[in-house]
Amino acid sequence: MNTQIIDGKSIAQSIKDELKMKVQTLREQGITPGLAVVLVGENPASQVYVSNKKKACEYIGMKSFSYELPSETTEKEVLDLVETLNNDKNVHGILVQLPLPKHMDEQKIILKIDPLKDVDGFHPQNVGALSIGLNGLISCTPAGVIELLKRSQIEIAGKHCVVVGRSNIVGKPVSLLLLREHATVTICHSRTKNLSDVLKQADIVIAAVGIAKFITGTMLKSEAVVIDVGINRDENGKLCGDVDFQSCQGVASYITPVPGGVGPMTIAMLMHNCVLAATNQEGVLN
């Protein structure tokens, strides 16, 4: 079995190029989508994410508004800033970079974001919309997983998908999206018994565990499709996923690498959400 590698970087690039054309058309109509990014504190990983998001905005021709606040900022100051951004007509998307400093209630801040501008898809209104099949903004990493499968011509309908992980930002929403695509979905977590037996039945495995190289080739059914959401460091400090990439060679039919798989899709889908939010708010037909 020749295992094919899904090139997330190149798929993400195609999405950004499509969005660039869409933004050009919007700009000709006098609409420039705008994303506001709020960063509190000096978390180095968050600083890298925020800078990549700003670069992506620039690439596709969107405006970005950046608010980099010191870690002593109060919760009230962040809530007030979100309120101002909710009312700003030039801002179509608001992203508050998580994690926030410990003295802030993340949920309270997420709840404050106008659901129409919630491009991370974390507001309960958007989460609820996803769960009952209404239109809304879908969180970026789970949306990226579905887009990777679709753009690699991998059929989801009728397939048995095993999602390992049940977090609010990856495991749960990706499971709902797979269900919406007519898959049969099994969700596994730390209390799941005989995980290997469950994985052996999977046509498609989505790994979102947060443990380096946790899923190995011997746990898979032959020709399974493997989507690795994990971002970890291995024993040598090298970036790796939740899946042991090497041992899946020759067993999996398709696999995403880390880095270069799901990661680049998250930003592409964030840009997609910003453009969608702008067209919704400006009353432009998609």
Residue 97 annotated in active site: yes
Task: Output 97 or 141, the one with its CB closest to ligand NDP.
Answer: 141
Question: Using CA atoms, how far apart are residues 286 and 272, in angstroms rounded to an integer?
Answer: 12
Assess contact for 39 and 46: CB atoms under 8 A.
Answer: yes
> Would you call 140 helix, strand, or coil by DSSP?
helix
From the CB of 1, what's the least distance to ligand NDP, in Å?
26
Exactly one of 53, 112, 172, 213 is catalytic; which is it? 53
Strand-pairing partners, residue 187, are 163
When CB distances to ligand NDP are compared, the closest residue is 167
Q: Which is nearer to ligand NDP, 131 or 279 (CB)?
A: 131
* 39 DSSP β-pair partners: 68
Q: How far is the CB of 212 from ligand NDP (least distance, A)?
A: 8
Active-site choice (22, 97, 203, 242): 97
Beta-ladder partners of 233: 239
Our answer to whether residue 108 is catalytic in this structure is no
107 is catalytic: no
Query: Where does the chain show beta strands of DSSP type E?
Result: 4-5, 34-40, 63-69, 93-96, 160-164, 184-188, 204-207, 225-228, 232-233, 239-240, 254-255
Nearest Cα residue to 92 out of 59, 126, 57, 124: 57
Least distance from C-beta 167 to ligand NDP, angstroms? 3
Q: Which is nearer to ligand NDP, 92 or 172 (CB)?
A: 172
Q: Which residues bind ligand NDP (CB under 6 A)?
A: 141, 164-167, 169-171, 188-192, 195, 208-211, 229-232, 242, 262-263, 266
Specify the residue, 101 or 210, whose C-beta has the smaller distance to ligand NDP: 210
Active-site residues, by number, are 53, 97, 120
